[in-house]
Chain A
Amino acid sequence: MDFQNNTGPETASEEEIFVPSDDVREHLVVVGNGMAGCRAIEELLARDAGRYRVTIFGAEPYVNYNRIMLSPVLAGEKSFDDIIINSREWYSENNIELIAGDPVTGIDRTAKTVTSQSGRTVGYDKLLIATGSDPFIIPVPGKDLPGVISFRDMKDVDTMLEAANGGGSAVVIGGGLLGLEAAHGLTLRGMKVTVIHLMDTLMERQLDEAAGWLLKTALEGRGQTILTGANTAEIYGDGKVEGVRLKDGSEIPASLVVMAVGIRPSTALAREAGLDVNRGIKVDDHMVTSDPDVLAVGECVEHDGNVYGLVAPLWDMCRSLADGLTDQHTGYKGSVTSTKLKVAGLDVFSAGDFSGGEGCEDIVLRDASRGVYKRVVVKDDKVIGAVLYGDTADGGWYFDLLKRGEDVGEIRDLLIFGQAFASGGGALDPKAAVAALSDDAEICGCNGVSKGQVVACIEAGNCSLDAVRGSCKASASCGSCTGLVENLLAVVLGDDVQSGPKTMCKCTSFGHDDVRREIVAQNMRSIPEVMQKLHWSTPDGCSSCRPALNYYLLCALPGEYQDDQQSRFVNERMHANIQKDGTYSVVPRMWGGLTNPRELRAIADVVEKYDAPMVKVTGGQRLDIFGIKKEDLPAVWADLNAAGMVSGHAYGKSLRTVKTCVGSEWCRFGTQDSTGLGVKTERMTWGSWMPHKFKIAVSGCPRNCAEATIKDFGVVCVDSGYELHVGGNGGIHVRATDLLCKVSTEQEALDYCAAFTQLYREEARYLERTAPWIERVGVEYVKQRIVEDDAGREALRARFLYSQSFSQDDPWAERAAGANAELHQHLDPIAIAAE
């Protein structure tokens, strides 16, 4: 989904959320509508929802969004709507007044009021400052030129997207996480990007030299220019930015310069209000500032001499803050931080102190061909730091050892090989591994959820993955911790886990619906991309997931997706049905079951010419020619094509046949032209790929000779029009159709057929026929989408016909013309020298 094509981010400025002013509760005013401010309120609501009346001021004109997900928005992997944390409904449901797009400009601690830019003055009983950080702008000449921006908020992303539209070159100053993500996004958006980094190593605060070098090499491999040890002298340009000049005199032309050299606590407001401010606003263990009625939380604070720029400490602070506001006194004790990142799709992890020094021992593992580097720093038999590149699966375990100060003397020899090895010398049961984690071990980094919280959430009655995702948000964002959450479900509930949607196959922790949703949401365009982004556990999937992914991509991107032959079952790859002896059978299409002498002759000729041992009329009223050898298939198709016949797709997860009776033209009972409608239906639907095989029938009267009531889509003609039936199946579990509705014209029957087919194509799971699909979602749901929603039906129909404009090519014709000839030929052996 392209952000720019959206209707626009959800803003809250036009329509402020109103809270009655006769509310007599203590008034808590929050300055800052970002991740810390809102999280603090969420924690507070979870403890005592009725205690405070809450007003939140936000400088940006939006609801609360996940700032760390701005990079995926820039990269085009997510839209703004995807990164909203709390929608407008959240504010109104919790009676929170949101004043967005109106920054607070002053605090009067004597009067206990805040004043905003627009002149609004609001009184408070308690004030919470959550102003976060400001991007640091290096004071070089030209820093104020148009086209020089930071990477901090939605406005910056908009500016970058606009610049990227024009193509050209960009310079990113700063090779830390933020800079590299900006560079990655701009590269994906088509700009030529140079990263200028002052230090010799990228991300030197998180990575050591070796890992930084691997990262640099990988990024250069993706087309970026990375200049390390490069010092910016000046940004030049006449009226707008034209480039960057380095201290060594070299110049890099650019139409956009992104300054991403760091952030510093936003303390101006607190400083002017006379609060104690050092590097950040000074707070105690309950996040209270030097004024007992003013609290502060997040990146703007300094606690015990520390300032944090990561989300994990922020979650810890918000918990302590909410405890304090509700008279519980746990207190914040500071955070040990770890960083698990995906920089431009590359896995990076670091935690603790890895700078080395006296008494520190380094344990290092390098596997250049896999692109893996691991370094664990041990001091006095305790892990004090770790850097992982390329394979970060054990990051959580090292971090847990580090935080607990565990004695690792006994497992030191195996430590570097990870938890599975060190805990038992072999593959460790993943459930035992997760059971062994401490309660405060982080499970979900995106949402700051610990093992203890997930367990509590499960024990509170959330017995499925979806329920956990909905309740405590663990695994609800990037999904990389889904396996951990599932293992926790298994550990806590034993056999009582409600198997939500099953995973697609053993290669992934995602179910079919999740995968389909993510393909669309993240605009994924190829099977390897899906496997990469959704953390597939196998190098190239298996025979279950590959055909499914191929179909999902094909369905999501009609006309754009490049079909992957090697992910298709042999029948679809060979456009014929494989039989038990390895030969194939061939079914030419006979529209609506009609044929003529020319077609029959061509079929008879093929049977003789290629020695086909059998011809059979199929259940779908077509002729099936058996016993064709793989190498003869192209010639068979050429002969059938010559007589005007195309592939019947009898082999595919696709529309197969439209079965008909003779209808009003011949039958004394027939009420409508069922044969004619059958032909029209088949002309409209042939060639379409489906989640499973798909059959249609049209019967001319309720005697139903075409057996329309056991088809995926069936039409029964009656005097007054057409009864439309769906979800029938003559397979292992025979199922009669449900009546969808009745329509009065042929055109309507065709339109409903197209819309129903597309709904099935877009929403059923691969290898799920219409019958189990309808039983799963309910026929009422299908009626709602097809019958009751006129605009929705029309949109589905239009999408189906659009997709059909790319798929109605005869696959036999191109093979007969010589395409993929090697699929039908043997390799030619040449005997050569013996040893």
Chain B
Amino acid sequence: MTDWIDIGTLADIPQRGARTVRIAGEKEIAVFRTGDDKVFALVNECPHKKGPLSQGIVHGHSVACPLHNWNIALKTGEAQGADEGCTPTIAVKEEGGRILIARPTEMKAAA
């Protein structure tokens, strides 16, 4: 069983951009919308030095961290290229035009 949280519509997130979500007791979440209108959610921290990924340049299905330009795959949270590290991902789904994310603790419990 997963707790889903409604965070708004696709239009609330800029294309090739991100918005942040705060849930009490949790790390800030970055919700990304790509050029082809796919939605991904990650903890808003680069695995390198915790840079706010939500503020990076989104390209393809990756985001470049604004602090040191690490490229993070939006689907897996993994650093690309020679860099190593992984940002936790959060399940996202679209339902009736709304975007829902899984409550992070639920994901941990499920995993």
Contacts and interface: CB of A to CB of B under 8 A. Distances in A.
Interface string A794-835: 000000000000000000000000000010011111111111
A829 B58 CA distance: 23
Nearest to B50: A582
Interface stretch (A274-282, A329-337, A536-544): A536-544
8 contacts: A540-B35, A543-B59, A568-B57, A578-B66, A578-B67, A582-B51, A829-B21, A830-B7
Nearest to B17: A566
Nearest to A578: B66
The residue among A538, A543, A569, A835 with the most chain B CB atoms within 10 A of its own CB is A543
A651 to B, nearest CB: 11
B83 interface: no
B49 interface: yes
B73 to A, nearest CB: 13
Contacts of A831: 3, 5-6, 103
Contact of B71 (A540, A543, A570): A543
Contacts of A546: 57, 59
B56 interface: yes
B20 A834 contact: no
Interface string A360-378: 0000000000000000000
Interface of A: 538-543, 546-547, 565-571, 573-574, 578, 580, 582, 630, 822, 825-835
Contacts of B62: 542
| Chain A interface SS verdict (over half) | mixed
A565 B31 CA distance: 17
**7 A-B pairs with the lowest CB-CB distances in the bound complex, closest first:** A543-B64, A566-B16, A570-B66, A543-B57, A570-B55, A540-B35, A582-B52
The residue among B1, B16, B69 with the most chain A CB atoms within 10 A of its own CB is B16
Interface in B23-65: 23, 28, 31, 35-36, 49-52, 55-60, 62, 64
Contacts of B5: 829-832
B12 A543 contact: no
B4 A828 contact: no
B3 A826 contact: no
Interface of B: 1-8, 12-17, 19-23, 28, 31, 35-36, 49-52, 55-60, 62, 64, 66-67, 69, 71, 100-101, 103
A80 to B, nearest CB: 36
Contacts of B16: 540, 566-567
B22 A826 contact: yes
A835 B2 contact: yes
B69 to A, nearest CB: 6
A539 B61 CA distance: 9
B57 A835 contact: no
A548 B16 CA distance: 16
A802 to B, nearest CB: 29
A730 to B, nearest CB: 23
A570 B59 contact: no
The residue among A578, A826, A830, A833 with the most chain B CB atoms within 10 A of its own CB is A826
B7 to A, nearest CB: 5
B7 A542 contact: no
Given A540-B16, A828-B8, 18 more contacts: A538-B59, A543-B56, A546-B57, A566-B16, A568-B57, A569-B57, A570-B66, A580-B49, A582-B52, A582-B55, A822-B14, A826-B19, A826-B21, A827-B7, A827-B8, A827-B21, A829-B7, A830-B7
A568 B36 CA distance: 19
Given A543-B59, A578-B55, A827 B4 contact: no
Given A546-B57, A578-B67, A566 B100 contact: no
A355 B59 CA distance: 42
B59 A827 contact: no
Contacts of A570: 55-56, 66
A827 B19 contact: yes
Contact of A834 (B2, B21, B36, B57): B2
A546 B35 CA distance: 13
B57 A566 contact: yes
B76 to A, nearest CB: 18
B16 to A, nearest CB: 4
Given A540-B59, A829-B5, A830-B6, A566 B66 contact: no
Contacts of B36: 539
A541 B50 contact: no
B51 A835 contact: no
A248 B6 CA distance: 57
A616 to B, nearest CB: 20
Contact of B55 (A547, A574, A580, A835): A574
B66 A832 contact: no
A582 B27 CA distance: 14
A583 to B, nearest CB: 10
The residue among A542, A547, A578, A829 with the most chain B CB atoms within 10 A of its own CB is A829
Nearest to A541: B59
B96 to A, nearest CB: 11
Nearest to A833: B4
Given A543-B57, A834-B2, A834-B3, A827 B12 contact: yes
A835 B14 CA distance: 28
B14 A565 contact: yes
B1 A834 contact: yes
B68 to A, nearest CB: 10
Contacts of A542: 57, 59-60, 62, 64, 71
A542 B16 CA distance: 11
Given A542-B64, A826-B20, A566 B14 contact: yes
B50 A832 contact: no
Nearest to A564: B16
A93 B90 CA distance: 69
A574 B67 CA distance: 14
Contacts of A569: 57, 66
B60 A539 contact: yes
The residue among B14, B36, B56 with the most chain A CB atoms within 10 A of its own CB is B14
A827 B60 CA distance: 23
Contact of B100 (A543, A574, A580, A832): A832
A835 B31 CA distance: 21
A547 B57 contact: yes
Nearest to A571: B66
A542 B72 CA distance: 12
Contacts of A830: 5-7
Contacts of B49: 580
A771 B97 CA distance: 52
Contacts of B31: 827
A437 B59 CA distance: 33
Contact of B60 (A540, A565, A822): A540
Contacts of A543: 56-57, 59, 64, 69, 71
Contacts of B2: 834-835
Contacts of B15: 566
A536 to B, nearest CB: 11
Contacts of B101: 829
Contact of A832 (B4, B19, B56): B4
A574 B66 CA distance: 12
A54 to B, nearest CB: 53
A582 B5 CA distance: 25
A825 B7 CA distance: 13
A579 to B, nearest CB: 9
The residue among A571, A574, A578, A582 with the most chain B CB atoms within 10 A of its own CB is A582
